[in-house]
Amino acid sequence: MAKTPRVGEPAPDFELPGTQGTFRLSDHRGERVVLLFYPGDNTMVCTKQFCSYRDRADDFAALGATVVGISSQDLASHEGFTAKHSLNVPLLADVDKRVASAYSAYSPRLGTKRAAVVIDEQGIVRHRHDHLLGLDYQTVDELKATLGALPTAAAPPPAATPPTPPPAASPPPAATG
């Protein structure tokens, strides 16, 4: 079964509590957004993933995108995970698994699955990577390459300027006689 939303489709809007306050996707129109779904706080691979982003903070900050992690743990768990490892990525609490389900990143048997979804400035999904086993993750370099391959946002149309009037006709040369 195809993962939804598919590349080229609108990203479903959502609002979740997070370690840096409430996050609403639609508040980030005009920005590129990377959603990093992950199975759980303080698990081996998830800790390695988010610590790798922390360890390359300058490269991570240079991605030019808003990046958030999403899992089903509550806010207290996310705050403890962030504090314990000095993480630099805001973590969102999808306790009812509604957002992970909307993005096909949830399985009743496995819980939240590892996936990366890249959304462009207009709110359209431009890339998704679903990890089959959840034993690996998108590195800073992979995220950078993915974002770098996307077209840049369309520039706004130039402001309308009044048409320039045609040059005045020159008077005919004076007759000599």
What positions carry a catalytic annotation? 46
Q: How far apart are CA 114 and CA 37, in angstroms?
A: 5
**Number of neighbours of residue 97 by Cβ within 10 angstroms:** 17
Q: Which residues pair with 111 in a beta bridge?
A: 107
Residue 77 neighbours by CB under 8 Å, 6+ apart: 41, 42, 93
**Number of neighbours of residue 6 by Cβ within 10 angstroms:** 10
The answer to whether the beta carbons of residues 112 and 38 sit under 8 Å apart is yes
If you count them, how many residues does the chain have?
A: 177
- 82's enclosing H/E stretch is helix 75-85
The answer to whether the beta carbons of residues 61 and 143 sit under 8 Å apart is no
The answer to whether the beta carbons of residues 47 and 40 sit under 8 Å apart is no
